[in-house]
Structure 1
Amino acid sequence: MTRDGTPNAAAVGATKQSFAILEQLGEQEGCGVSELAESLSVSKSTVYNHLQTLRSLGYVVQDGDEYRLGLQFLGLGDRARQHHDLYHVAKPETDSLVEAVGERAQVMVEEDGTGIYVYQSLADQAVRTDSHIGTVVDLHATSVGKAYLAHLSDDRLDAVLDRITFHGQTPDTLTDPEALRTELDEVAERGYAFNDEERTVGMRAVGAPILSADDGRVLGAISVSGPTTRMNGTWYHEEVPEMVRQSAQIIGIRATYS
């Protein structure tokens, strides 16, 4: 199966198992063989063999009876991000946006039907959640995701929506594809999207698409997020959207002509 759950005849079982173990380790501070075997429903010998192979390659570190991800992943992740042009042009403008709003901002690109944060910047008072650089987010449950989707061509939008699993992350998450399409039409018209506690209860966000300045192609999206206690009223509905939209426009120009 691929990331979105579709069958893949070329998938290699052993590789999938190794990555399942790595993803499980990524969610924990440390795991033992028995814990991993139970959570993944595989034998302890299978888990042990995979762990020893990954340890020999430097991607897993053993500490007593527990295993954790090795720091070698930092190098891979940074190289992957460095190869993405949008990261370089978006970073300074995102930092400036954070200074202006005093919250948290993130830049997202789409890959295989999901959103991935390639950059994030936080003000001192910003509320930290589970999101960080490298976080994979559902496009239908985030303002960056909806801003991105709203500016795809019809054919591309259909293809991406077919890959999305519409599960609810909070009681306010849109899980009906047709309802999402209706909202995307509104987002496309006004130029920005809202996330009203749709991914995390108690948090709101405003996102805008990053568009190529020459052909209008959507490159990614940027958003500002903060607690509902501060993201409300005119500030949330008018002032922040305008600042986010302007930052997205600047990034799009720099991405096109740099």
Structure 2
Amino acid sequence: MSVNERDFVQSIDRAFAVLRAFDARRPNPTLAELAEATELSRPAVRRILLTLRELGYVTDDTGHWSLTPRILTLGEHYSAANALVQAAMPHLVRIAERTAESASLGVLDNGWVIYAARVPVRRIMSINVAVGTRIPAYATSMGRALLAWAPEAVVAEVLDAAPLDRLTARTITDPAALRAELAGVRERGYALTFGELEDGLISLAAPVRDATGAVVGVLASSTSAGRSTPARLRAEVAPILLTHADRLSTELGYRPADS
């Protein structure tokens, strides 16, 4: 539901823009760097930072700003209140136990996949993977499993809005090729990527549906080429992931039409 101009609170929009500007490239930005990243004026950014500091969400040291641990409580509130996360956790634990690899729950957010829950087993990526981490949907198994059953308008927004970055030599960046891949995902019932987000990373994801049949998240298992192969994941991990995705969907109220 869109909000009309009268009801839209611009100050909240700007505050979140400043918070989102803290990322791996700018963990301790200056006021000037935040102003540039958000395209807001320095006085506006300064007022926002001072307010956030008073609330305990940011701190400053010799001209550089950083987030405080209190920011994590926002994610905790989401996890505690979100039925999908609560229901997924036992399945993630079981997947991790059965595969001896990390298991994750991902959701789609404007062309990105956000890790909504995760059970780590061992470090498999050089990037920092934690709840709240965002990764590009087009280059990941989680993203493709989410996009495969998404409305065409959502797919077009992700694949056609801007050129897709080639993250590795294996990354598929052609929108037509990606649409063909999404068709294959729908046919198989799961998505698998190998070395597209990061060299050597193998990941498999299966969709989770709610009571209406809409795909609201994905369960995923990840490993590295040093420990497994795409063929092994298809043969050994896909059945486990699909079983737990189906069970979780059932717990959320999904009933297949032919059941």
Taking structure 2 as the reference length, the TM-score comes to: 0.81
Instruction: Choose the corresponding residue for 1:211, options 186, 209, 212.
Output: 209
Q: 2: CA distance between counterparts of 1:188 and 1:105? A: 21
Residue 242 (str. 1) matches residue 239 (str. 2): yes
22-31 or 104-113: bigger deviation: 22-31
Q: Cα RMSD over matched residues?
A: 2.8
The answer to whether the Cα contact below 8 Å between 1:208 and 1:221 also exists between their aligned partners in 2 is yes
Contact 1:26 1:68 in 2 (8 A): no
Q: Structure 1: which 5+ residue stretches go unaligned?
A: 1-7
Equivalent position amino acid for 1:77 in 2 = G
Partner of 1:95: 93
Q: Does 1:32 align with 2:26?
A: no
Aligned to 1:182: 180
Report if aligned partners of 1:26, 1:69 keep a CA contact under 8 Å in 2: no
Question: What's the TM-score once normalised by structure 1's chain length?
Answer: 0.81
The count of aligned residue pairs is: 245
Cα distance, 1:176 vs structure 2: 2.2
Q: For the residues of structure 2 that align with 1:58 and 1:121, how far apart are their CA atoms?
A: 28
Percent same amino acid among aligned pairs?
30
- Regions of 4+ moved over 6 Å: none
User: Cα 1:93–1:143, aligned 2, differ >3 Å: closer, same or farther?
Assistant: same
* Contact map agreement 2:52 2:58 (CA 8 A) in 1: yes
Residues in 2 aligned to 1:240 and 1:176: alpha-carbon distance in whole angstroms: 28
Counterpart secondary structure, 2:22? helix
1:163 to 150, 154, 157: 157
Secondary structure class of the residue paired with 2:196: coil
Equivalent residues in 2 for 1:1-258, closer than 5 Å: 10=5, 15-27=12-24, 28-37=26-35, 44-124=42-122, 126-127=124-125, 129-152=127-150, 156=151, 158-164=152-158, 165=161, 166-168=163-165, 169-212=167-210, 216-232=213-229, 234-256=231-253
Runs of 5+ consecutive residues of structure 2 not aligned to the other structure: 255-259
Q: Tell me the distance in 2 between the aligned counterparts of 1:219 and 1:45.
A: 40
Distance, in Å, in 2 between the alignment partners of 1:137 and 1:125 is 16
1:4 is aligned to none
- Which shows bigger deviation, 133-142 or 220-229? 133-142
**3-state SS, counterpart of residue 243 of structure 1:** helix
